[in-house]
Chains A and B, each alone.
Chain A
Amino acid sequence: AYSNLCLLLLLPPFTVLDFNPLLDETNRILTMEDPDNKKLRSTPRNADDVISLVMPYVTDPKDRESASLVNRTWLRADSETRYHVTMALCYASAPDRLSARFPNLRSLKLKGKPRAAMFNLIPDNWGGFVTPWVNEIALSLRRIRSVHFRRMIVRDLDLDVLARARGDELEVLKLDKCLGFSTDGLLSVVKHCRKIKTLLMDDSSFLEKDGKWLHELALHNTSLEVLNFYMTEFTKLSPRDLETIARNCHRSLVSVKVGDVEVLELLGFFKAAVNLEEFCGGALDEDPETPDKYIKLTFPPKLSRLGLTYLGANEMPILFPFAAQLRKLDLIYAFLETNDHCKLIQKCPNLEVLETRNVIGDKGLEVLAKCCKKLKRLRIERGADEEEMDDERRGADEDGNEDLGYLVTQRGLTALAHGCKELEYMAVYVTDITNECLRTIGAYLKNLRDFRLVLLDQEERIVADLPLDKGVRSLLMGCEKLRRFAFYLRPGGLTDVGLGYIGQYSPNVRWMLLGYVGETDEGLVEFSREGCCPKLQKLEMRGCCFSERAIAAAVMKLPSLRYLWVQGYRASETGQDLRVMSRPYWNIELIQARRVPEADEMGEVSEVEHPAHILAYYSLAGQRTDCPPTVRVLD
C-alpha cells in the first residue's frame, strides 16, 4: 500500500484518473484492502476523494501533522481518519477541542501528573482528572474502543460513565499508575464491557472492597487477551476465578500480570492458560524446610516473558527447563544475588529484554554481554543501599583487585557495549562511570534510541573521572538515533562546557532528564544556543544551580520545547523572574515548597522538605482551573 501511496502523491489533482492504468491498479488495491470503507466509489472523481483514500495509510503522527497543514481538504481528511491520539499532558488541550478535531477517534492515551510522581515528588491531588475526558467520550466520541490513562485521577463514577457509554465496544482499558477509584468502579467496567480484551491496573492505588470484579470477569468474559494488575495490593481475589478466566479465555489469553498471589495457588491457572506467553507477579515463599515446595509448578508451553516476585536462588532452577525460550525476564522484584544472576542469565541466550536491580553487578553484566547477543532493552534499577554497603561485597579479592564485580560500574557497561550491539534501550543506575566508558558506548551501541544514566550518590565511592564532558560528547555523537536521554550526576559531574555539548550533539532527542549538570547559568546559555536541541519537546531538570532567569531564557530559545519540569533551582522571591518566559498559550505553574511527613528506611517519621517545582507547558485550553492549594498558577 505504501508504494501506491507514493504514486498517488506523485500525481496532481486534476489528472483524468479514469484512464490512468496506474491509478486503476491503486484503486483496485485500495478497494480490496479497506473493507471498512463501504462508501468507496469504484473510481475517485477528484482530489478530495483521492486524499481521503490515501490518508488512512499515513500512520505516523508526525507525518499526519505535516499533511494536515497543507490545506483544508487535507486537514479534513486527517481529522476524519485519525484513529489514535496520545496527549503527553492532558492539560495541553480541552476535551471538546479533541472531539471537534478528531470525531472518529478509536483510541486515546492521556497522561496527567509529571513523571516525578512515580518518585513520590508530586502531591497525590495535583491533578490530571479523567472526568472531563470521560464525559466527552460519552458525549461525542462514539467510536472509542481503547482508553489508556497514565498517572491520572480516576473515580468510580468516571469508570461507570465510561463503561455505560461504550459498553461492549470498549476493548481496552488501561488504568496505568492511576489512583482514586475502588473495586466498585472495576466491577462496573466488567459488567458493562463484556467483550473487553485488555484490562490493566498496573501500579494503581485504589480501595479494595471485594473480589467481585474478578469473579464477574470469570463468569462472562471469553475474549480476554491481557489482564494486568501487577504491583497492586489486592487481597480479596480468588485464585479460582483466575483459573476460570484462563479456561474460558484459553484461546486468547496471552499476558497476565498479578499482584502478590502465592504461586502455589496458581497451579490450576498455569495449567489452564495454554496459550500464555507472558506472566509477571505472584509471590514465591521460600521454605528451607521444604526445598521441593515448588516442584509441582509447571508453566505454559509458550511462556517467553516472565517475572516471578520474590524468586530466590533455591527456586531459580524451576526456570532452567525453559530458560532458552525466554525473551523477557523481569528480576526487579526477585531476591537474587550477583552470582545467581550469572547462573540464570547464561541459560538465556535468546533474551531480548532484561529488567533487574543493580545487584546484578559488573559480573552479571559481563555474563549478559557474553551470552545474550540479542539483547535490545536493559533496565537496571536502584536496589537497597545496603546491597552496596555489605562488607562481603567490598574489599579486595585474591589478586588484589578491589572491584569484586558486585556493583555496576564502567566495567560492566563497557562489556555490554562490546557484547550487546543490538541494544536500543538502556537505563542504568551506576556506582561509578568513566569518560572512556561513555565513549565506548557511543562507538558500539549504534542502535540506542533511549539512554538513561544515573550516578548514585553513595558517599563511600569516590568517582575519579569527573567531569564527564568528553565522554558524553562522544556518546551523543556516536548514538545518532538517540531520541530519549537522561543524565543524572552529582555536583562536578558536568561543566558548563559539557552541558553545551549535550545541547549541540542531540539533534534527534525529544526528551531529556538532566540532574546536577552544569556549574553556572552559563551552562544553560550554552545548552540553548542557536541550533542546539532542535527537537527537544520535553525537558526535566533536577538539582541544578540555575537561576529562574536563566531557565526562562533558555526556554525561550529552545524551538520545539512544549513541556518543562524543574525541581531544585535558584528561585526568586515570588517566581517573578519566570515571567521572562511569559508568552501566549504557555502555562507556568509552581508546585510550592512543602514539608511532608515521611518514614525513612529505619521507619522513623520526620518532616521532609520538598523544594518547589516549576511546571510549564503549552496549552490550548487556557490556565488550569482545578489546581489544589499546593499548585500556584503564574499569570
Chain B
Amino acid sequence: MSKVTTELDFFGLEKKQTNNAPNKPKFKKLLDRRRSFREIQGAISKMDPEIIKSLLATGANPSETSTRSLSVPSTPKEDHQRILISPVHAPLTRPSTELVSGTVPMTIFYNGTVSVFQVSPNKAEDIMKVAMETSPKKDKSMEKHLSVIPPTTLRTKLFGQNIDGDLPIARRKSLQRFLEKRKER
C-alpha cells in the first residue's frame, strides 16, 4: 500500500530547508521541525482560517501547495513613512500656563463640557452678567446646566488643584486612602 502523505507547508518552514530533498528520512524531518517549533508558536493566529479551509478542501497536490508559504502580515512600516504636513489653519490652542498680563483663567461648565478662557476681570463680569440676564421665557433646565464659576473659587470647586482648571489628574483610590492614613500616623 502506497503511503500518500501530502505536506501542506502552512508555516513556510520549507523556505529554510531545501525543498528538493525527497529522500530525507522522515525522522530527520521530525527533528528539524522540533527545532523550529518556536517559529510555529503563535503562527496559527496569523494564518487566515479561509486559507486553511481552502487547503483542506483541495486535498493532495504537493507541487501546487507545498511551496506555498503563508506570509505573516508584515508590520506596516513602508506605508507609514509619509511626511505629515501640519494643518494649514491655526490650531486651536489651549490656554498656556503663561498668563497674558491682566487675564486669569475662567472655567465654564456647560452641559457636561468644560471650557477655559483667559479673560480680564472686567470681561468676566460682563460674561457673568450676560449669563444671568435670562430671557422672559426662562428655561429651567438651561439654568441647571449653566454654571459660571468665577476664578477665585475655581480651585476649591474643582477636585482641589490644577493649573488651568481643566480635568485634573485623578488619584487612584487606594493611594488616596493611604495618603489620608499617613496623616494620622
- Distance between B31 CB and nearest chain A CB, rounded to angstroms: 9
Select from chain A the residue with minimum beta-carbon distance to B11: A6
Does chain B have a CB within 8 A of A65? Answer: yes
| In contact, A534 and B76 (Cβ under 8 angstroms) | yes
| In contact, B111 and A571 (Cβ under 8 angstroms) | yes
| In contact, B169 and A488 (Cβ under 8 angstroms) | yes
What are the residues of chain B within 8 A of A526 when measuring CB–CB?
Answer: 84
Does chain B have a CB within 8 A of A211? Answer: no
What are the residues of chain B within 8 A of A500 when measuring CB–CB?
Answer: 84
B-contacting residues, A520-571, CB 8 Å: 520, 522, 526, 531-532, 534, 542-543, 545, 567-571
- Distance between A246 CB and nearest chain B CB, rounded to angstroms: 26
Report the interface size class on chain A.
35 or more
| In contact, A568 and B3 (Cβ under 8 angstroms) | no
Select from chain A the residue with minimum beta-carbon distance to B41: A2
| In contact, A119 and B173 (Cβ under 8 angstroms) | yes
Provide the bound-state CA to CA distance between A568 and B7, in Å: 56
Does chain B have a CB within 8 A of A11? Answer: yes
| In contact, A3 and B33 (Cβ under 8 angstroms) | yes
| In contact, A66 and B112 (Cβ under 8 angstroms) | no
Does chain A have a CB within 8 A of B17? Answer: no
Report the interface size class on chain B.
35 or more
Provide the bound-state CA to CA distance between A231 and B173, in Å: 10
| In contact, A116 and B10 (Cβ under 8 angstroms) | no
| In contact, B171 and A3 (Cβ under 8 angstroms) | no
Does chain A have a CB within 8 A of B185? Answer: yes
Select from chain A the residue with minimum beta-carbon distance to B75: A507
What are the residues of chain B within 8 A of A567 when measuring CB–CB?
Answer: 167
Select from chain A the residue with minimum beta-carbon distance to B58: A12
Does chain B have a CB within 8 A of A292? Answer: no
- Distance between B106 CB and nearest chain A CB, rounded to angstroms: 15
Task: From the candidates A69, A573, A611, name the one contacting B114 in the complex (CB within 8 A).
Answer: A611
- Distance between A96 CB and nearest chain B CB, rounded to angstroms: 26
Most buried by A among B6, B30, B44, B75: B44
What are the residues of chain A within 8 A of B160 when measuring CB–CB?
Answer: 600-601
What are the residues of chain B within 8 A of A14 when measuring CB–CB?
Answer: 59
Provide the bound-state CA to CA distance between A480 and B74, in Å: 13
| In contact, A382 and B171 (Cβ under 8 angstroms) | yes
Task: From the candidates A459, A507, A543, A606, name the one contacting B97 in the complex (CB within 8 A).
Answer: A459
A63-B44, A381-B175, A454-B169 in contact; A11/B6 too (CB < 8 A)? yes
What are the residues of chain A within 8 A of B6 when measuring CB–CB?
Answer: 11-12, 15
| In contact, B178 and A332 (Cβ under 8 angstroms) | yes
Select from chain B the residue with minimum beta-carbon distance to A574: B111
A-contacting residues, B1-29, CB 8 Å: 1, 3-11, 26
Provide the bound-state CA to CA distance between A611 and B115, in Å: 11
Report the tally of A-B residue pairs with Cβ distances under 8 A.
200
A-contacting residues, B58-81, CB 8 Å: 59-60, 75-76, 79-80
Does chain B have a CB within 8 A of A519? Answer: yes
Does chain B have a CB within 8 A of A161? Answer: no
| In contact, A60 and B156 (Cβ under 8 angstroms) | no
- Distance between B4 CB and nearest chain A CB, rounded to angstroms: 7
| In contact, B167 and A611 (Cβ under 8 angstroms) | yes
Select from chain B the residue with minimum beta-carbon distance to A567: B167
Provide the bound-state CA to CA distance between A454 and B175, in Å: 16
Task: From the candidates A65, A118, A569, name the one contacting B45 in the complex (CB within 8 A).
Answer: A65
Does chain B have a CB within 8 A of A180? Answer: no
Does chain A have a CB within 8 A of B47? Answer: yes
A492-B94, A496-B91, A568-B114 in contact; A6/B40 too (CB < 8 A)? yes
Does chain A have a CB within 8 A of B162? Answer: yes
- Distance between A191 CB and nearest chain B CB, rounded to angstroms: 30
Task: Kindly specify which of A18-26, A135-143, A365-373, A396-404 makes contact with the partner chain.
Answer: A18-26
Select from chain B the residue with minimum beta-carbon distance to A498: B84
| In contact, A10 and B9 (Cβ under 8 angstroms) | yes
- Distance between B20 CB and nearest chain A CB, rounded to angstroms: 18
Select from chain A the residue with minimum beta-carbon distance to B175: A381
Does chain B have a CB within 8 A of A241? Answer: no
- Distance between A115 CB and nearest chain B CB, rounded to angstroms: 10
Does chain A have a CB within 8 A of B102? Answer: no
- Distance between A73 CB and nearest chain B CB, rounded to angstroms: 10
Does chain B have a CB within 8 A of A62? Answer: yes
Does chain B have a CB within 8 A of A505? Answer: yes
| In contact, A608 and B158 (Cβ under 8 angstroms) | yes
Task: From the candidates A12, A67, A456, A593, name the one contacting B44 in the complex (CB within 8 A).
Answer: A67
| In contact, A63 and B92 (Cβ under 8 angstroms) | no
| In contact, B156 and A459 (Cβ under 8 angstroms) | no
| In contact, A609 and B169 (Cβ under 8 angstroms) | no
What are the residues of chain B within 8 A of A382 when measuring CB–CB?
Answer: 169, 171-172, 175
A65-B45, A495-B91 in contact; A456/B169 too (CB < 8 A)? yes
Does chain B have a CB within 8 A of A385? Answer: yes
| In contact, A20 and B169 (Cβ under 8 angstroms) | no
Provide the bound-state CA to CA distance between A462 and B164, in Å: 14
| In contact, A519 and B91 (Cβ under 8 angstroms) | yes
Listed in ascending order, the chain A residues whose CB lies under 8 Å from chain B are: 2-3, 5-7, 9-16, 19-22, 25, 58, 60, 62-63, 65-67, 69-71, 116, 118-121, 203, 231, 285, 310, 332-333, 335, 357, 381-385, 454, 456-457, 459, 462, 480, 488, 490-492, 495-497, 500-501, 504-505, 507-508, 515, 519-520, 522, 526, 531-532, 534, 542-543, 545, 567-571, 573, 592-593, 598, 600-601, 604, 606-609, 611-612
7 closest Cβ pairs, A-B complex: A491-B94, A612-B112, A119-B170, A69-B49, A593-B112, A62-B45, A3-B34
Given contacts A385-B161, A507-B75, 18 further A-B contacts (CB under 8 A): A10-B8, A63-B42, A118-B174, A384-B179, A454-B169, A459-B97, A491-B94, A491-B95, A491-B164, A496-B87, A497-B86, A500-B84, A501-B84, A520-B87, A532-B80, A600-B159, A608-B157, A612-B113
